[in-house]
Copies of this chain bind each other. A is one copy, B any other.
Amino acid sequence: MNVTPQRVAVYRALLQAEDHPSPEELYRRVRRRMPSLSLATIYKALDALTRLGVAREVSVISERKRYDANLDRHHHLVCTRCKKIVDFYDDGLDAIAPPRRLSAFVAHSVSVQVMGLCGRCAQDTPRSRQKGRRACN
């Protein structure tokens, strides 16, 4: 893994940012100082920084929309490998009240996601860290 001006610029912009910017947003910002930079490079740099472990994606459940007709209060186990989502119920977690010192923020709901590997995926790849999705169920 190599240190390049582009990666440094992206990382700097990310460090300075307070707002969890999207790749496009970072592009807009970094390009001011480095007009030659391309959007594809932003994506590649973010991937590099993430693999390096100095940045991460804000927990996104999955790349697709997912729907639920279960309106009960519940939480989700999300397998980061095969993207399976399993409900789980937990009174303790339900009891979480949004902290009150949220200034002006009006909370509507609290959702807890436990990220990890489902049984099958955990067994399947004891140590390997493959990229991409896997068929599971």
**What is A's interface to B at a CB cutoff of 8 Å?**
11, 14-15, 17, 19-24, 26, 46, 49-50, 53-62, 64-69, 71, 76-77, 79-80, 84-86, 88, 90, 92-93, 96, 98-99, 102-120, 122-123, 137
Contact = CB atoms under 8 A, between A and B. Distances in A.
Given A24-B64, A53-B71, A107-B115, 11 more contacts: A19-B84, A21-B67, A26-B67, A46-B67, A58-B76, A59-B76, A60-B65, A77-B105, A96-B96, A106-B122, A110-B115
A64 B63 CA distance: 9
Contacts of A53: 71
Contacts of A123: 104
